[in-house]
Amino acid sequence: QSALTQPRSVSGSPGQSVTISCTGTSSDVGGYKYVSWYQQHPGKAPKLMIYDVSKRPSGVPDRFSGSKSGNTASLTISGLQAEDEADYYCCSYAGTYTWVFGGGTKLTVL
Amino acid sequence: EVQLVESGGGLVQPGGSLRLSCAASGFTFSSYWMHWVRQAPGKGLVWVSRIDSDGSTTIYADSVKGRFTISRDNAKNTLYLQMNSLRAEDTAVYYCVRGSLYTFDYWGQGTLVTVSS
């Protein structure tokens, strides 16, 4: 499967909002309600931030939200904080018990 | 507290083999799908393989099919990845990941596999 398409980088100032897009096809993002987002700080393991398109695990701030329209999913982070600076990866179920990740987006908090 | 601790990584020559292990604790291991996800140095995450809760069904990414084998021992709360015919492009940090339905909810810290002569 081909990787989902994410912007290589996004940036924002503290307190602002940023949105990261994740574009796939009707065989993955568009075909299932199983899109998730992961935050990864340098040298650390990824952390689940959003699952099933828009659900937040316990402990994840409500500043993080997810949505989907057609073949494109989005992660929005509002009220940016310095600790949000990290790499973010989207992931979609792609059928027959396979999954595909996006290439990752580096978020810089200015 | 859910813990996933990988081991078994290291340096191996092209064409060689390596077996990774992942010791799980803090949850009922036998009730969950488990996965391996890898990340080449400086690159993104790539899903590698999935095994269902009783080990009866396994699925692989095309890039490792026929070379890697995922397995589990529910009595020992341990997940494995047998990697054969290793190539330079298999060099990566390998993460053991718990699956919660169609999501990856807990990740280990990873173990580095380097394939080089």
CA distance B61 to B105: 20
Q: Would an 8 Å CB–CB cutoff place A38 in contact with chain B?
A: yes
Of B25, B8, B4, B26, residue with least CA distance to B17:
B8
Q: Give pLDDT, residue B112.
A: 98
Rg (CA), chain A: 13
**C-alpha–C-alpha distance, residues A79 and A66, integer Å:** 15
Does A1 have pLDDT greater than 80?
A: no
Query: What distance in Å separates the CA atoms of residue A68 and residue A73, rounded to the nearest whole number?
Result: 4
Give the pLDDT score at B101.
86
How far is the C-alpha of A48 from the C-alpha of A63, rounded, in Å? 14
What number is the average pLDDT over the span B67-83? 98
Q: Is the CB of residue A41 less than 8 Å away from at least one CB of chain B?
A: no
Q: What's the pLDDT band for B45 if we cut at 50, 70, 90?
A: very high
Contacts of A97 in chain B (CB under 8 A): 50, 57, 59
A40-87 pLDDT per residue, tens: 999 999 999 999 999 999 999 999 999 999 999 999 999 999 999 999
Does A7 reach chain B within 8 Å, measured CB to CB?
A: no
Chain B residues close to A102, C-beta within 8 Å: 44
CA-based nearest distance B36→chain A, Å: 11
Which of the four pLDDT bands, split at 50, 70 and 90, describes residue A18? very high
Mean pLDDT of B74-96: 98
State the Cα torsion B113-A45-A48-A102 to the nearest 10°. Answer: -50
Position B30 scores a pLDDT of 97
Does B7 score more than 80 pLDDT?
yes
Rounded percentage of chain A residues whose pLDDT exceeds 70: 99
- A36 contacts in chain B (CB < 8 Å): 102-104
Residues recorded for chain B: 117
- Nearest residue to A108 (alpha-carbon basis) of A78, A79, A86: A86
pLDDT of residue A12: 96
pLDDT band at B48 (very low <50, low <70, confident <90, very high): very high
Mean predicted lDDT score pLDDT of chain B: 97
Give the mean pLDDT of B14-26. 98
Residues of chain B in contact with residue A46, where contact means CB-CB under 8 angstroms, are 45, 95, 104, 107
Integer CA distances (angstroms), B98 to A4, A59, A88, B26, B94, in order: 22, 18, 19, 12, 13
Q: Does A62 touch chain B (CB under 8 A)?
A: no
When CB atoms are compared, the residue of B45, B46, B103 closest to A48 is: B103
Partner residue opposite B103 with nearest CB, options A51, A100, A104: A51
A68 in Cβ contact with A58 (< 8 Å): no
Instruction: Please state the rounded mean pLDDT for residues B3-19.
Output: 97
**B78 pLDDT tier (thresholds 50, 70, 90):** very high
What is the count of residue pairs from A and B with beta carbons less than 8 Å apart? 64
Region of B86 (left: φ > 0; alpha: ψ -120 to 50; beta: rest) is: beta
